[in-house]
Amino acid sequence: MMAAASLLTGYLLDLLFGDPQWLPHPVRGMGLLISRGEAFLRRLSCRTPQSQWICGLLLTLLVAAVSFILPDVLLKLARASSPLLGYGLESLMCYQILATKSLKVESMRVYRELIRGDLPAAREKLSRIVSRDTAHLDVSQVSRSTVETIAENTSDGVVAPLLFILIGGAPLGFLYKAINTLDSMIGYKNEKYLYFGKFAAKLDDAANFIPARLAAYFMLLAACLSGYDTKNAWRIYRRDRMKHTSPNSAQTEAVCAGALNIQLAGNNYYFGKLLSKPTIGDNGRPVEAEDILRANRLLYVTSALALTAAIGIHIILLKFL
């Protein structure tokens, strides 16, 4: 039960405090390791597509190993010293792995600027949480991009980490965060990362395959409990869940688009180049700033459902195995 208690405590800490800037965060350490490792490997030998793929593989394995082994060793030392210390440390780790509050905080910064009518400030706040170009987006496009980020990261930032923690505790949760961070930094299909980041991108697809689909079903239930259009959410999910280059990203985006009766995705500029993408959902109305609030409600209810399911499964397994 200690693992379930740590997960619950970490979840509550995340809801209370989010990700304060003054608190050192392990993901920032992962990002530093990735950037330094990439720079070293590219200087060493990364000239041909094959060597780039090998270097990317080595970097991915290194970051994943460090991200799992370090917290695992620290937890074992803490538990050997005191079960209470082990519980406290794992709770802190679970808190840092989950991102419910920080996702809401960042999206609400965009929302507040839109409500004030300061579109340039809203674009700047959005640029902190998306990789697409934001300089020329209008109000509806900024709102749409923010909703997309909330919907996609409901899986990546909340449901998937919960499931990995359930299976293997905080160390496996950190392993997942490492895979996800690698994909966000080097998993691009552009000239620079097409081969170097291919292994990391495929590994992220594999790690998120089941969690993304579970997150979509949790979000469908959340849409029902929140009073949104559940019937349309199910229709759009079945129709559009595979309309993305990733097999996972459109799963929760499709549910969100259907539940809110809006259209997400479509063409966007990344690093100055237009990337054509199919749309998700029906274009019934323009996406508005208030949809950010609605998407955040879906985020919170979905996360609560996933947590309840995770702890319930944990208790059942302890009872019968």
Highest mean pLDDT among 16-20, 125-129, 230-234: 230-234
Rounded distance, CA 125 to CA 113, Å?
Answer: 8
Band of residue 321 on the pLDDT scale cut at 50, 70, 90:
low
Share of the chain above pLDDT 90, in %: 76
Average pLDDT over residues 249-259: 95
State pLDDT tens for residues 67-87. Answer: 999 999 999 999 999 999 999
Q: Which two tokens stand for residue 236?
A: 């759009």
**What does the alpha-carbon distance between residue 242 and residue 248 come to, in Å, rounded to a whole number?**
8
Helix/strand/coil percent split, the chain, to 5:
75, 5, 20
| pLDDT tens digit sequence for 196-239 | 999 999 999 999 999 999 999 999 999 999 999 999 999 999 99
According to DSSP, the β-strands at 273-275 and 264-265 are unpaired
Q: Residue 84: what pLDDT?
A: 94
Angle between helical axes of 139-154 and 249-260 (0-180°, round to 10): 120
Q: Is 212 helix (H, G, I), strand (E, B) or coil?
A: helix
7-11, 83-87, 136-140, 267-271: least confident range: 267-271
**How many Å is the Cα radius of gyration of the chain?**
20
Count of domains forming the chain: 1
Q: What is the pLDDT of residue 44?
A: 81
pLDDT digits (tens, 9 = 90+) for 171-208: 999 999 999 999 999 988 888 899 999 999 999 999 99
**Tens digits of residue pLDDT in 264-308:** 988 777 767 777 788 999 998 999 999 999 999 999 999 999 999
State both tokens at 145.
């991009």
Containing domain of residue 240, as a range? 2-320
Question: Residue 273: which H helix or E strand, with range?
Answer: strand 273-275
The pLDDT mean for the chain works out to 92
Task: Report, as an integer, the average pLDDT of 153-163.
Answer: 94
pLDDT at residue 252 is higher than 80: yes
Angle of CA points 75, 79, 84, to nearest 5°: 110
- The predicted pLDDT at position 46 comes to 75
